Amino acid sequence: MQPGVSVAQLARENNINDNLLFNWRRRYQQELSGTPASTPALLPVTLTATERQVSPLTPSAEESPCCELVLPAGTLRISGKLTPELLQMLIREMQGGCR
């Protein structure tokens, strides 16, 4: 920056928050003087390979939802996604068949 330039005015002219420009200016001056920053800019990182446990995409037979209806003519098993709507329709149909 040129001597005598107002930092606040320069920030306004460039649509920058004046506090941000003051911070940038202070950091730049610290770098020129060799003053270390208050916190390190980079930290050492060590990566180690680990074996990941992969869960199955489909649930096992024990985990799958299932609805089983035992009827006089046979047994009806429904497995897979049992939505509330599907179960509601099934119950309605079963009640209608008893009348």
Q: Is 17 in contact with 11 (CB distance < 8 Å)?
A: yes
Three-class secondary structure of residue 14 per DSSP: coil
The per-residue pLDDT of the chain, averaged, comes to 78
pLDDT digits 0-9 by tens, 12-58:
888 888 888 888 888 888 888 876 666 667 778 888 888 877 776 66
- Quote the pTM value: 0.33
φ, ψ for residue 58 (rounded to 5)?
A: -115, 140
More confidently predicted of 1 and 24: 24
